[in-house]
Structure 1
Amino acid sequence: MAAIRTIIFMLIFYGLTVPWVVAALIGAALGKRPMHGVIYAWVRFHRWCARWILGITVRIEGDIPAGQYLFAAKHQAMFETLDFLNLLDTPAPVLKKELTDIPGWGWLAIRYGGIAVDRSGGAKTMRAMLKRTRAILATGRSIVIFPEGTRVSPGERPPLQAGFAGLYKIFDLPVVPIAIDSGHVWPRDSWIKRPGVVTYRFFAPIPTGLPREEIETRVHRLINDLEMGGD
């Protein structure tokens, strides 16, 4: 049954994503507001498909703070990549440069406010990324980053990438760690999605000014809290 549900989800969600991208491109020609409206309708549609086709629901634990933060989250599935747009107030995501190469969608991701990271790039690429981040923060938006740097399976806890501490130090932003367990219903090593609950556990903001080792240790522990059976 899970396989049948997944096939139906793929046909409906991905099939309708193409015209949605076209609509967003048209909206972008009219301005950021129409484009944002189409994008937010698309991610709500994604949540609807996950709920009513795949049987995946969402549970929020903790408070989602208002204000400007560096949201640092566990990353186990594509699910949260899109769903953060439902949860947070116009967050600007840090994403792999390869995603911005997808025709149409990649251009929209950058236009929306995505911050592309090219790990193979040199100092010039890093300066351009920092300049873009500074410009986005100047608009009052928050940043979402997956500090482990990649999507992982449940139980995997790779070390944090250096870029996370760099953003924390350079831009002097408080950090909100988020533990997520989406990999149990949206597994990395299988195309079949399973019904169940995705939990987002939001922790209290961590203040600015901490030494690199301390902020990395605290964030790494908290974003893996669900994996370690934390209450």
Structure 2
Amino acid sequence: MASAFRTLLFTVIFFGGSIFHAIAAFIGSLVSPALMHWAVGGWARYQHFCAKWILGIDVIILGNMTDRPVLYAIKHESMYETIDMPRVFRRPSVVAKRQLFNIPFWGKAALAYGMIPVDREGGASALRDMLARSKSLLAQGRPIIIFPEGTRVMHGECPALQSGFAGLYKMMNVPVVPVAVNSGKLMPRNHWLRRPGVITYKVGEEIPAGLPRAEVEARVHAAMNILND
């Protein structure tokens, strides 16, 4: 009962505040980049605050996630890590499915902030657009974040990586840092209830650029799933 009450309270307070941050980010994208960046980063910090003080969820990072312009390949088990990236990094560029950019207010602000839409049905032209935008943002010194599984998975599942990861890794020609996440233990994809506990990010060893596809995929896949029970 306590977890159910906390979950309902979190839903009301967090999503209510999310509307404010989305509108502020949209206004900032039109008139003030500083306001836009504050709103995006503020949304991530707001989620962290609500998760900690309402749900009883703490977050720890094992290893060092720096702001260097490299490719981060991160396990995807819940919405939490998607929103959390601007808190963990300074101005990260996150590769996200194109449908998210259709959200009112947020979609335009996300593009202006530097998020990277990916159209999985768009073929080669969509991949070229994603690559061009990624290289431009990388040149600004910003880390590129990708969730190679393509969608949220249940904790313990180890699906194959989406083909777009290998293409991006090869054409960007930068090192990749895999990161394991176990958020699905507390925020499972197929259940509304949120439980207290600790979400862990475990940073794997940096993998150099230029490796064959099979090797880089195997190393990233193993490192991303190291927190699986």
Shorter-chain TM-score category? Answer: over 0.9
Q: Do the aligned residues in 1 keep the contact of 2:173 with 2:209 (CA within 8 Å)?
A: yes
Matches of 1:115 and 1:193, distance apart in 2:
29
Corresponding position: 1:152 with 2:142: no
- Once the two structures are superposed, residues 100-149 of structure 1 have per-residue CA deviations (whole angstroms, 9 ceiling, x without a partner) of 11111111111111111111113322222222112111211110001111
Aligned to 1:195: 196
The residue identity in structure 1 corresponding to 2:86 is L
The residue identity in structure 1 corresponding to 2:173 is D
Q: Do the aligned residues in 1 keep the contact of 2:116 with 2:134 (CA within 8 Å)?
A: yes
SS in 2 for 1:225: coil
Aligned to 2:97: 96
SS in 1 for 2:121: coil
Corresponding position: 1:21 with 2:22: yes
- Which structure 2 residues correspond to residues 2-41 of structure 1 after superposition, within 5 A? 2-41=3-42
- Once the two structures are superposed, residues 21-74 of structure 1 have per-residue CA deviations (whole angstroms, 9 ceiling, x without a partner) of 222222222232221012111211110000000101001111223421100010
Matches of 1:223 and 1:194, distance apart in 2:
22
Q: Do the aligned residues in 2 keep the contact of 1:180 with 1:223 (CA within 8 Å)?
A: yes
SS in 1 for 2:210: coil
Aligned to 2:225: 224
Aligned to 2:80: 79
Matches of 2:126 and 2:204, distance apart in 1:
32
Q: Do the aligned residues in 1 keep the contact of 2:95 with 2:146 (CA within 8 Å)?
A: yes
Distance change in 2, residues 1:63/1:126 (3 Å): closer
Aligned to 1:65: 66
Aligned to 1:136: 137
Aligned to 2:50: 49
Q: CA deviation at 1:79?
A: 0.4
SS in 2 for 1:197: strand
Aligned to 2:216: 215
- Once the two structures are superposed, residues 176-227 of structure 1 have per-residue CA deviations (whole angstroms, 9 ceiling, x without a partner) of 1100000000111111110010000012211111111100000000000011
Matches of 1:208 and 1:123, distance apart in 2:
22
SS in 1 for 2:193: coil
After the TM superposition, which parts of structure 1 deviate over 6 Å for at least 4 consecutive aligned residues? none
Q: Do the aligned residues in 2 keep the contact of 1:186 with 1:193 (CA within 8 Å)?
A: yes
Number of equivalenced pairs: 228
SS in 2 for 1:178: strand
The residue identity in structure 2 corresponding to 1:166 is G
Distance change in 2, residues 1:18/1:66 (3 Å): closer
The residue identity in structure 1 corresponding to 2:152 is R
What's the Cα RMSD here?
Answer: 1.2
Q: Do the aligned residues in 2 keep the contact of 1:76 with 1:183 (CA within 8 Å)?
A: yes
Identity of aligned residues (%): 48
Q: CA deviation at 1:15?
A: 1.1
Matches of 1:30 and 1:101, distance apart in 2:
21
The runs of 5 or more residues in structure 1 that have no matched partner are none
SS in 1 for 2:195: coil
Aligned to 1:111: 112
Matches of 2:140 and 2:67, distance apart in 1:
15
